[in-house]
Amino acid sequence: MAGFAQATVGSLPVNGLRHPLTQDTNGWYIWFGDELSTNPDFFVPVHAEHIYDEYPQLIRLLGLPPGYRFLIAGDYLDVWYEKKIVTGGDEEKQ
């Protein structure tokens, strides 16, 4: 299961970040647009299979390990690692 911000679909860019795995989730949180809400209902649980079916451009990115983020805007793709996602610390983007 991944966290998916269904209400933001259709906006750009497409954003994703992966936290460490838990018993209930693969760690991925995906949203569309510039704003990442802190509302507890912002993300809904979605099976990764549905993401693969509806957003095939994300398939190659969902294999990234915890700590990685991505941003897609049209043909532009940025992928980076943020250690603080995994450690919870204040380390800088690498």
Is 41 contained in some domain? yes
In a domain, 8, yes or no: yes
Residue 12 within any structural domain of the chain: yes
Asked if residue 94 is part of any domain, the answer here is: no
Give the chain's domain count: 1
Judge whether 71 lies within some domain: yes
Please check whether residue 35 lies inside any domain of the structure.
yes
What pLDDT shows up at residue 94? 47
Print pLDDT tens along the chain (94 aa). 999 999 999 999 999 999 999 999 999 999 999 999 999 999 999 999 999 999 999 999 999 999 999 999 999 999 999 999 999 876 554 4
What's the whole-model pTM score?
Answer: 0.90
- Taking the CA atoms of residue 15, residue 19, residue 24 and residue 26 in that order, the dihedral angle to the nearest 10 degrees is 60
57-83 pLDDT, tens digit each: 999 999 999 999 999 999 999 999 999
Residue 93 lies in a domain: no
92 within domain boundaries = no
Residue of 34, 13, 28 lying closest to 64 (CA atoms): 28
Range of the domain at 48: 2-87
